[in-house]
Amino acid sequence: MPIPIYAPPKARHYDVVIVGGAAVGSSVAYWLGLEAQGRLSVLVVERDSTYEFSSTALSTSAIRQQYSNPINVKISQFGIEVIRGFKERMAPYFPGEAAPDLGFKEHGYLYCTSPEGVDAARERVEMQQSHGAHTVWLEPDALLKQFPWLNVEDLGGGSWGSQAEGWFDSMGLLMGFRRGARAMGVEYIDNRVTALDVAGGKVTSVTLETGEVVSCGTLVNAAGPRAQQVAAMAGLSIPVAPFKRYSFVFSSATPIPGRMPNVIDLSGTFVRPEGPLFLTGNTPGDDGPADYDDFGPRHEEFEDAIWPALYHRIPCFDALKVQSAWTGHYEMNTLDHNGIVGFHPEVTNFMFANGFSGHGLQQSPATGRGVMELIVHGGFRTLDLTPFAYERVPANRPFLEEAVI
């Protein structure tokens, strides 16, 4: 009887393997599923399908058009289109059930501006308007008329997005994209990518925590704040790190009448309604790269920095009580606070979808679609996302976004 020769199991092959299945990874998966209609095999590897520590789950989930770069305005406009039409878009994947409608609260954003910042702010408003945004510039008197609860004494004015800005349900977006992708044949597995094999300038396979090896045609890095860990597995580097952000939900003894927007104070503190309560956060005093697993709170941030700023800007916020708080990670691109989207020039099937620096949720629809276009068509077909290409990183050529919160 012949002795059987041991043959190692053949690695499963997928045309595209996506590392990370939260908002960005699942958006990529959704658009790939939609465009390829079964002609591509796609695998999403997600290390924690509860998404407990993902940026997507811990996000404050707002969308605005008030950016300093026209391309970011256009990306958000597509985000708005997707958010507004999400229920209809998702209906085919929720037969007999209600599809998520994301509960979009279209309350707008109000950016407070110092007297010194007026010229630059007005220029930004004009730029945004020229791209179809509904941003308007309000002088202090007009601000006070519109928002009588606002202290305008030290303001030169403010820019207000009267439409197409607000906040929505981040997990609804993620779960909708995920459900749609799966319905169109994309596979999801609960596992962690621990290593990548690179040969001949390409990622040839990914190794999973369970030891399984999966070969791939294209590798998409959608690992959020852990993007650099995944890049390093291919011997690559991007300036993306987890930065802690503390969010606080509080009640106020005095309610704010009318339709309160997301107010961005001069101090960088933001505040907006959250049902009958309010949600706030800031750029914290301990800002900087954090440990990947450090989600520890910083309660004094509210007492020391946030409340004084809130009370100054909105004097009726004199009796507040924190109801809950959580810590999340921004996936901060320390080069220029903008996303990195596109293939690596040397490891040519390694795709970045990283570094969105606190605005990745609203950018996930356009990013997913753009990444799909690069993979399927070899170039952008709708929005030209080339300003976000990786090449600017080694060239140290920042594509700076000034309007970062």
Ligand X SMILES: Cc1cc2nc3c(=O)[nH]c(=O)nc-3n(C[C@H](O)[C@H](O)[C@H](O)COP(=O)(O)OP(=O)(O)OC[C@H]3O[C@@H](n4cnc5c(N)ncnc54)[C@H](O)[C@@H]3O)c2cc1C
User: Count of residues for the chain?
Assistant: 405
CB of 108 to ligand X, least distance (A): 14
Residues 6+ apart with CB under 8 A from 285: 298, 301, 304, 305
Task: Pick the stretch among 32-40, 225-233, 368-376, 386-394 that binds ligand X (CB under 6 A).
Answer: 225-233
In angstroms, the Cα distances linking 141 to 24, 138, 270, 398 are 41, 8, 21, 37
CA distances (Å), origin 285, targets 289, 299, 358: 12, 12, 17
The CB-of-329 to ligand X minimum distance in angstroms stands at 5
Helices (H), 136-239: 140-146, 170-183, 227-233
d(CA 301, CA 70): 33
Residue 7-46 contact track with ligand X, rule CB under 6 A, x = bound: ------------xx-xxxx-------------------xx
Residue 270 near residue 280 (C-beta atoms within 8 A): yes
In the set 186, 222, 231, 309, which binds ligand X (CB under 6 A)?
222
* Residues in region 96-135 near ligand X by CB under 6 A: none
| Closest distance of CB 226 from ligand X, Å | 4
Which of 48, 101, 197, 212 touches ligand X by CB under 6 A? 48
Residue nearest to ligand X (CB): 360
CA angle 365/57/307 to nearest 5° reads 110
Residues in 52-91 at the binding interface with ligand X, rule: CB under 6 A = 54-56, 58-62
Q: Site for ligand X (CB under 6 A): which residue of 100, 172, 180, 358?
A: 358
Size of the site for ligand X (CB under 6 A): 39
Considering the rule CB under 6 A, would residue 186 count as an interface residue with ligand X? Answer: no
The CA-CA-CA angle for residues 367, 99, 165, to 5°, reads: 50
Cα 296-297-300 angle, rounded to 5 deg:
145
Give min distance, CB of 60 to ligand X, in A.
4
**Among the listed residues 105, 124, 179, 329, the single contact to ligand X using CB under 6 A:** 329
> From the list 33, 180, 224, 261, which residue makes contact with ligand X (rule: CB under 6 A)?
224
Q: How far is the CB of 95 from ligand X (least distance, A)?
A: 27
Question: Which is closer to ligand X, CB of 152 or CB of 265?
Answer: 265
Amino acid at 211: G
Distance CA 240, CA 232 (A): 11
Q: Give the x-and-dash track for 360-389 against ligand X (CB under 6 A).
A: xxx---------------------------
In angstroms, give the least distance from the CB of 91 to ligand X.
24
Interface segment toward ligand X; rule CB under 6 A; list 216-224, 312-320, 376-384, 394-402:
216-224
Say if CB 223 and CB 21 are below 8 A apart: no
Q: How far is the CB of 70 from ligand X (least distance, A)?
A: 18
Enumerate residues 126-185 that contact ligand X by CB under 6 A: none
Question: Which secondary-structure segment (H or E) carries 376?
Answer: helix 360-377
CB 389 to ligand X: min, Å: 17
Closest CB 142 distance from ligand X, rounded Å: 26
* Integer Cα distance of 332 and 24 in angstroms: 15
Residues 304-323 that bind ligand X (CB under 6 A): none
CA 322 from centre of chain: 26
The per-residue b/e assignment along 109-128, b for 16 or more CB within 10 angstroms, e otherwise, is bbbbbeeebbeebeebbebb
Ramachandran category for residue 342: left, alpha or beta (phi over 0 → left; psi -120 to 50 → alpha): left
Q: Which of 89, 179, 245, 369 binds ligand X (CB under 6 A)?
A: 245
Please give the residue ranges that form the binding site for ligand X (CB under 6 A): 19-20, 22-25, 45-48, 51, 54-56, 58-62, 192-193, 222-226, 230, 245, 247, 328-331, 356, 358-362
